Amino acid sequence: MHDRYTRREILRLGFAGAAGLALTKLAPAQQRPRSDGRVKNIIFMVSDGMSAGVPSLADEFGKLVRGKGAFWHQLLQSPEATLGFFDMAALNSIVTDSASASSAWGSGSRIFNGQINVLPDGTRLTPIAQIVRQAGKKVGLVTTTRITHATPAGFAAIQPKRDDEDDIAPQYLNVVDVLMGGGLRHYAPNRRRDGKDLIKTYQDAGYTYWNTRAQATSSARPEKVLGLFYDSHMPYTVDHLNSDELRRTVPTLAEMTRKALEILGNAPNGFLLQVEGGRVDHAAHANDAAAIMWDQLAFDDAVEAVYEFASKRDDTLVIITSDHGNSNPGLNGMGGEYEASNKAMAMLQHAKCSFEELPNKLRNANSADDVRNILKEQLGIEINGEESTALAGAVKGNLPPIWNRQHRSLQGLLGQILSNYNGYGWVGTSHTADYTWITALGTGREEFHGLIRNTDAFYKMLKLFGLSHKNPSMTPEEARKYISRAPRIRTEDWA
């Protein structure tokens, strides 16, 4: 049926508005392209490790737990959105990690996984933050991971090993104006290996240091901010929601994004802002369906905050995307005629904690019955005796035979067992080679239609800003002789 109508007609006819979506709310987005084709601001949003199946499930999950579907889902139906895909391959692998992914967007060159903006022979690439700041624009990085983590770093840092986050931490000084996320451990003197006080270094350079939610949500708009709201990654949304303490002290991604836009929106020459929902990826590694859904909704709230800012303007490009698939959660057809699928998925709403917290609780279990009771209490799912016996053994380090080696861990086993109830199947516990979704809004959005090579994002963004810079690059053939120099990082640590 849809073949017979344009998307605009579908919207007019209301086929898309099943839940009475606020489509009128989207109407102001009729952004007229600026005559010179240039943009003043770019907001680049990344739901890290968001597999292609996540958005549709998050929309349904949102209806279930919040009485409204995903805002991104509405955008996808809007004629004002351009849809595309990124080909995110790395230089040494069709499966990319966040470091080479963000570097490809951030410097226009494919590099080896595990590195930030360096070619295999050690050539340093100039990241986009340095280029746009030189041109008088402001730069912001907002994330739920450590601010020194791969995705933010790929826009602003140069580091041969992504894990050397102590060395990434000082690189944002006077390159990035607004920094908000986790990662206090790489700035505080008592947490850094070298004992340096980088908080003071940033303060001396004019940055306002924030570490509470109250500060991030106050009316203050300092020109430069170092906001570090957690020691490591910020908590999963499902844990945040279930802790009064965390809700009180730790801001949400949307709150940080709003604040960043309040500050950067005043920049006379515009800005580049990267917003990362970083823990969708971590939840996918852990095969934790509920944590993915909740963090995707938190990312969705940030999308709405960005839309509120951008839809009023004709000088801003918004890109919403992901850097790679991860474990590829998919809802299986459950029961006769698949009628049990929705009910299975609905079980996720009972989760009270993430799989970051759950193993700690399971470690207190002394028997299979204990395991079963803890899962019932924490996830609202009642597994059977055989499954709880296997899990009780796994908690003590005795995994049952699992032929898919990616699943040979407590989390992998949990994911397999829980899929019998919540329907979420997983292809593994690592990144995947999927093309990733792109939704582009605003001036220049047509540049992101169709299948786009990751490296083109860098050159397209510069062009739209009216800037130019060419970074060196290497072909896979040229890179082959350097393969032994690629950082050795255990696959499960590649976030």
List interacting residues with Zn ion (CB under 5 A): 49, 281, 495
CB of 415 to Zn ion, least distance (A): 15
Output the CA–CA distances (angstroms, integers) from residue 480 to 97, 99, 120, in the order listed.
18, 19, 9
Q: Supply 382's token pair.
A: 């009642």
How far, in Å, CA of 254 to CA of 175, rounded? 23
CB of 367 to Zn ion, least distance (A): 34
- Among residues 157, 93, 80, 160, the alpha carbon closest in space to that of 122 is found at 160
CB of 351 to Zn ion, least distance (A): 21
CB of 431 to Zn ion, least distance (A): 6
Give the residue with the Cβ less far from Zn ion, 49 or 235: 49
Give the residue with the Cβ less far from Zn ion, 255 or 281: 281
How far, in Å, CA of 410 to CA of 358, rounded? 10
CB of 89 to Zn ion, least distance (A): 16
- Among residues 33, 155, 38, 83, the alpha carbon closest in space to that of 463 is found at 38
Angle at alpha carbon of residue 378, lines to 385 and 185, rounded to 5°: 125
Give the residue with the Cβ less far from Zn ion, 94 or 214: 94
Question: Residue 382 in contact with residue 376, Cβ under 8 Å?
Answer: yes
Chain centroid, CA 492 distance in Å = 17
CB of 493 to Zn ion, least distance (A): 9
Question: Residue 282 in contact with residue 495, Cβ under 8 Å?
Answer: yes
* Interacting residues of 333 by C-beta distance below 8 A, sequence separation 6+: 341
Question: Residue 88 in contact with residue 321, Cβ under 8 Å?
Answer: no
Helix (H) or strand (E) holding 192: none
Give the residue with the Cβ less far from Zn ion, 51 or 419: 51
Give the residue with the Cβ less far from Zn ion, 91 or 226: 91
CB of 282 to Zn ion, least distance (A): 7
Give the residue with the Cβ less far from Zn ion, 40 or 233: 233
354 as an active site residue: the answer is: no
Q: Supply 28's token pair.
A: 């102001």
Using the Cα atoms of residue 145, residue 147, residue 150 and residue 151 in order, give the sign of their dihedral.
positive
Give the residue with the Cβ less far from Zn ion, 432 or 471: 432
- Among residues 278, 286, 290, the alpha carbon closest in space to that of 238 is found at 290
Active-site choice (98, 103, 388, 473): 98
Give backbone dihedrals phi and psi of 82, rounded to 5 degrees, phi first: -100, 135
Q: Supply 418's token pair.
A: 């829980």
Report, as residue numbers or ranges, the catalytic residues. 98
